[in-house]
Structure 1
Amino acid sequence: MLRPDALRRVLALVLALLAWPAFADQAALRAGWYATEPQQYLRQGELTGLDIEMVRAIAAHAGQPVSFTPMGYLPLLEAVAEGRMALATGIARTEQRAARYALSLPYRQDTNVLIMRRGEAAALRFRDATGLAAYLGSGQRFRLGVRRGYSYFHPALDAWIGDPGNAGLVRAAEDDPTNIRRLLAGEIDGFLAERLSVALAITALGAGPAVEEQAMRLMVPLHLAFSRAGTPAETLAAFNAAILALQADGTLESIGARFRFPLLLSQTIDSDWFRALRVVGAVASALAGALAARQSQWSLFGAFVLAGVTAASGGVMRDLLVGRFPIGIARDPLFLMLIFGTVAGFWMVTHLWSLLRGRAMLAFWVAQLAVGMRRRRIDRWLFDAADALGLGASTVLGVAVAFGMRAEPFWLWGPMLGTITGAGGGILRDVLRGGGNIPNLKTGFYGEVALIWSLALSAWLSLRGAEIEIDEVVVVVVAAVLGAVVTRLAAVAFAWRPPRLG
């Protein structure tokens, strides 16, 4: 007779054998992935990306686990066609592929754009692939860069690219960085690329100030490609139902926004106008620090310290907090030079009297101007205006860094990094100046301005759908900067006071 513990083991084995078919049905589908950021890539050793996260969400909703194996794009397609792999992601439909694979419903779209040298795109008026194909076919001698072996899924455009008569105008490259270098070297006039991937490549090469997107948009629906040999019809139906459900409730759109927003913000930050704004913000913050040093009668060296703290310490704290290396001020020495140059220039201006000694008439008018400024507290208003402008520009930059670092949850990190970057320098400046007496933490409406506008910008970016365009990002960034400046100046003018603890 079996002992009770032995009997339990036998029963467990029998139940496991009976349940084996159910477990077999839930065996993970083997999906391949090929490294292309931001669609599919490793981040700190973990697989993520636009396609990966979307497929995980779809598979979870369908009740079908999926495991991912790294594999090249073309070998993966062959493996799925032969039944050695179950699934490939991000596949555009052609008649040949529809016959070879079991394609799902489209779960997202790729956006292909035409990248050109900055200042040249405005001359081209077309906005879609049909217009581009007509332009290329009109004898313009436009030298077009493409990806080798890639189809753009537009009959007229693909026909022009594949026409042997256009071989001298079409130049194929293995990747986007090669096309970017050829464009900057003048070897091509423009090239076609997937918008998210090329934005990353442009940022990595530091080519943002030299290139721009033309207005054309070529939308390509993407599908999941299943093996026809080993995929039950029920599995494909479950994935299609999951795609429809997650599109309806906004889940897929939300995932798309998470990966799209940082790239659009990156394009904004790399633009000429935003760089100019950062320069103005750095100079304004450094000027505010120099004015504060003058009011406290610090030495010239102390003025350099106070200006540097005001202009740079918020960004340094932000970058150290999120592990962003090299830190922002070390990435571009221009901003450190601007800080020192601003203090040196301010020192020269304030010592103009001694330089003009002996030139009585000019010295008299300079003295009268100085007296008039003091009576009207123009120096104080100059300080407040410079401080407000630095606050606004730095706040927006902090939110942008939170997006770029994909700090989650963004509703928390966006306002936090925006506030630290915007107000951190000014608060540390006042700590150095006043010891424990810090007006910006006691009675001044200062950090609150950075918090309010970083919250507003973060909320807008979080709520906006994945279809956001770069023009909208530009408008909202400018609005946030101006809003912060106006709010801070209004707080100074009307002596607003923040809520007190007791």
Structure 2
Amino acid sequence: MPRPEAGWLAPALRLLLLALLALPHPARAAEGRALQAGWYASEPQQHLRQGELTGLDIEMVRAIATRAGQEIRWSRLDYLPLLEAVAVGSLDLVTGIPTTPARAERYALSAPYRSDTNVLIMRRGEARALRFRDAAGLEAHLRGGHGFRLGVRSGFSYLHAGLDEWIADPPAPDLVRPADDDLTNIRRLLAGEIDGFLAERLSVALAITAAGVGQAVEEQAMRLSIPLHLAFSRATPPETVAAFDAAIAGLRADGTLDAIAARFRFPLLLSQTIDSRWFRVLQITGVLASALAGTLAARQSQWSLFGAFVLAGVTASAGGVLRDLLVGRFPIGIARDPLLLKLIFGTVLAFWATAHLWALLRGRAMLAFWVAQLTVAMRRRRIDRWLFDAADALGLGASTVLGVTVAFGMRAEPFWLWGPLLGTITGAGGGVLRDVLRGGGLIPNLKTGFYGEVALIWSLTLSGYLIWRGAQIEIDEVVVVVVAAVVGAVLTRMAALALDWRPPRLT
């Protein structure tokens, strides 16, 4: 006679076996579900913008995951806890990880999908004395007994054996100053506590812009490139990692990753250009030239001193105001920088004082003859008209370039549209509104003058070049291209006046 429990034992064992078989295997669990990825706040690589997660790494990984046929869900953690969460398998992947032997053992690393570029930031004017261009040159300089005090990021490896070794064990403790962030290093540099510091190029460009110290610091010529990978949990199926590797290769080949890099990299490098001294000179030159053109226009139309202020202000700032309102750039440029208004008012007052002094000299018996002769000669040669045209052309060229740079700096997309549009509005807007105010319905710059067309041609040219160069462009190259665009616009406008070019007409 069988035991009572024998009747239920076999079915129970079968149910237990089926339950065990139904449990998801770790490898199978990753299939058919969204990958759990972690992100840490580090602008511009990964950050919230208007409540939406974005950034260089985020957008690249989204494109890679889409190509690989994977869905990703993001969770925010601090950097070190995030690395640990992926290592123990509670998250599937983390972005932007340099490879080391230890990490190669803890994680399944993808192929590199982009690179970080580390640079040496120094006080402006001091970088040119250092001739090296790579990490080996920096290491040699540090070991050369020059007493160079280097700032670094705490716990960061620069993936150059000699450099990392020197940082870990310098000959004197005060030669290396670790910091938790770039702003601390910037403060120490400006206070004279360090002679330079290493930083990731995009992040430090953002920090420099935020601190408003672009005219006080500069990059040295050294570039240290560090490949970055996606770090997967070891529980991730090899097929998933392989799919991501294939997606990375495909997106590299078709230029998608480079295009994403350019979207984030170029505006930050351009912000450094805008903060530089030479660009400040260009901006001041454009305002002075436009204000002078407006003042001369007021004189030709016999406007009052107040009217001269109005025309000078409109010519120098109206295009920029329209541009900033159009893209939501606040505070608008003319309000952000009081110097611009001072330059406009100063130009009008200086011209008014010069004109009255000239009239006073004409009344002096001793100087009357010579002043009269000079006045006649100037009128014969139409010096006043030539001065107006030259000032107006210079203001047109400089303002056009400013408009294009604002479009890129504000990340107005698509760049091929907003670059030329804002360049044309900024360049020609003030001059057109000036002529509207004084023209009484006759606006030569909209009818027969080759004016707005100059701004459009050169903003298209500059925008096209910047888009073409994309992520590969360097600050020194931007300087040359911007100056060439200004000179080209000025020469084109002067040639149009000299040769009486006419714009295309509707009929």
Contact kept, 8 Å, 1:160 with 1:166, in 2: the verdict is no
Measured after TM superposition, the shift of residue 38 of structure 1 is 1.1
Query: Could you list the per-position Cα deviations for residues 184-210 of structure 1 after superposition, in whole angstroms to 9, with x for gaps in the alignment?
Result: 111110000001111111111111111
* Other-structure match for 1:271: 276
* Other-structure match for 1:254: 259
Q: Give the direction of change, closer, same or farther, for the CA distance of 1:164–1:136 in structure 2 (3 Å limit).
A: closer
In 1, Cα distance between equivalents of 2:363 and 2:419 = 56
* Other-structure match for 2:404: 399
Instruction: Tell me whether 1:207 sits opposite 2:213 in the alignment.
Output: yes
* Other-structure match for 2:40: 34
* Other-structure match for 1:3: none
Measured after TM superposition, the shift of residue 475 of structure 1 is 1.2
* Other-structure match for 2:352: 347
Instruction: Tell me whether 1:282 sits opposite 2:287 in the alignment.
Output: yes
Measured after TM superposition, the shift of residue 296 of structure 1 is 0.2
* Other-structure match for 2:335: 330
Whichever residue aligns with residue 307 of structure 1, its letter is A
In 1, Cα distance between equivalents of 2:392 and 2:64 = 49
TM-score under structure 1 length normalisation: 0.94
Considering only aligned residues, what root-mean-square deviation do their CA atoms show, in Å?
1.5
Instruction: Tell me whether 1:295 sits opposite 2:287 in the alignment.
Output: no
* Other-structure match for 1:321: 326
Measured after TM superposition, the shift of residue 37 of structure 1 is 1.3
Within 5 Å, give how 1:462-473 maps onto structure 2. 462-473=467-478
In 1, Cα distance between equivalents of 2:258 and 2:399 = 29
In 2, Cα distance between equivalents of 1:459 and 1:59 = 30
Measured after TM superposition, the shift of residue 370 of structure 1 is 1.8
Q: Which of these residues, 218, 224, 227, is aligned with residue 221 of structure 1?
A: 227
In 1, Cα distance between equivalents of 2:31 and 2:62 = 18
* Other-structure match for 1:106: 112
Whichever residue aligns with residue 173 of structure 1, its letter is A
In 1, Cα distance between equivalents of 2:205 and 2:431 = 33
Runs of 4+ residues over 3 Å off in structure 1: 21-24
Whichever residue aligns with residue 439 of structure 2, its letter is G
Measured after TM superposition, the shift of residue 270 of structure 1 is 1.1
In 2, Cα distance between equivalents of 1:257 and 1:26 = 33
Q: Which of these residues, 50, 53, 57, is aligned with residue 51 of structure 1?
A: 57
- Is there any run of 5+ residues in structure 1 with no aligned partner, and where? 1-20
Whichever residue aligns with residue 70 of structure 1, its letter is R
Secondary structure of the residue aligned to 2:37 is: strand
* Other-structure match for 1:441: 446
In 2, Cα distance between equivalents of 1:353 and 1:78 = 78
Q: Give the direction of change, closer, same or farther, for the CA distance of 1:26–1:377 in structure 2 (3 Å limit).
A: farther
Higher-Rg member (1/2):
2
Secondary structure of the residue aligned to 1:209 is: coil
- Give the count of matched residue pairs: 482
Whichever residue aligns with residue 188 of structure 1, its letter is I
In 1, Cα distance between equivalents of 2:76 and 2:376 = 73
- Is there any run of 5+ residues in structure 2 with no aligned partner, and where? 1-26
* Other-structure match for 1:455: 460
In 2, Cα distance between equivalents of 1:350 and 1:414 = 40
Whichever residue aligns with residue 432 of structure 2, its letter is I
Identical pairs, percent: 78
Measured after TM superposition, the shift of residue 364 of structure 1 is 2.7
Whichever residue aligns with residue 209 of structure 1, its letter is Q
Query: Could you list the per-position Cα deviations for residues 47-81 of structure 1 after superposition, in whole angstroms to 9, with x for gaps in the alignment?
Result: 11111111011000000111111111111101100
Q: Which of these residues, 177, 181, 187, is aligned with residue 181 of structure 1?
A: 187
Contact kept, 8 Å, 1:81 with 1:227, in 2: the verdict is yes
In 2, Cα distance between equivalents of 1:370 and 1:109 = 64
In 2, Cα distance between equivalents of 1:492 and 1:283 = 21
Contact kept, 8 Å, 1:353 with 1:363, in 2: the verdict is no
In 1, Cα distance between equivalents of 2:454 and 2:55 = 34
* Other-structure match for 1:4: none
Within 5 Å, give how 1:415-430 maps onto structure 2. 415-430=420-435
Whichever residue aligns with residue 468 of structure 2, its letter is L
